[in-house]
Chain A
């Protein structure tokens, strides 16, 4: 099964307002091709997309947050599985595309090519809903269950090495942050990127606080 096929298979179950946090690597380009949206956020440090997803899920409990992670990324930040399970946010779906390799870094094997089992690790970390998907039909059914249900879900999808010939996502980290936060401002009807200094930081003699 190919990762791109999985992304296409899960798309019908992703709502327009769902927030999607991607790992670095080609998954961000593939997801951007499948669902171009300002509600996609790309993390550029290996391992932390799941933690960023948890922070978002805690801040916006009424929004669905979907994390598109990888085996190498999850393995470098394994402790966060216990933290996510400890918080147990009902609006977080953590999907890991496991190609058993550090593909972007030359293709060397990860430990899932050997004896490590990510779904079992997630279960051990405290995820009540943790599943492994070996086939596309399997993945589609599991993604549907996770994305149409409520509760914290973990899905590890065994995929081939390789990526679809899609264009590169054109946004750097700074731009993806601004676009994503402007999108959230619209979605939530709130101001997140105000340039106004906090009232408590204003020197009293300037009198700015009175305006």
Chain B
């Protein structure tokens, strides 16, 4: 992930008022996580497991913050019960920034199944999502996803594929 990509995404988060980001590292994300850690307007919460991040973001939202969860799609699959039985059951939004391992421009074979399952599971949960494929479009997509999450009080996901993060 180059400096332009990390700056673009971090700036887009700041612009829409995101002030807490819970993260679990993914190879492509590490430079972005470092930018988030260094951003003074964002409370950075490094996680030990993605599902707890769903709970932390829910609590932060109720307390008046605008949280986002930056995780890999494997962690999204791990978080599906939390997203249904916390967010969807209780009307709690969250911006999900999901690394699309096994998606377009993947280069590691072991991510193939998690990649294939990602969009069907998002649809099965009834979650609206966007695919970020070009860096030039990411800032607008972050804005649109955060706005939709806010007004619908539901999680909305932005799938970041490796091409977009280069």
Contact = CB atoms under 8 A, between A and B. Distances in A.
B62 A56 contact: yes
Contacts of A190: 64
B64 A60 contact: yes
Interface stretch (A42-50, A138-146, A148-156): A42-50
Interface stretch (A8-16, A74-82, A95-103, A104-112): A74-82
Contacts, number: 141
A177 B147 contact: no
Classify the interface of chain B: helix, strand, loop or mixed.
helix
Contacts of B55: 43, 45, 47-52, 54-55, 77, 80
Interface residues of B, number: 40
Contacts of B64: 59-60, 184, 188, 190, 192
Interface stretch (B85-93, B96-104, B117-125, B156-164): B85-93
Given A177-B90, A177-B92, 20 more contacts: A41-B62, A43-B86, A45-B85, A45-B86, A45-B89, A47-B51, A48-B82, A49-B55, A51-B58, A52-B55, A55-B58, A58-B65, A59-B20, A59-B61, A80-B49, A83-B45, A181-B62, A197-B150, A198-B151, A200-B143
6 contacts: A41-B62, A45-B85, A47-B55, A59-B59, A198-B151, A200-B147
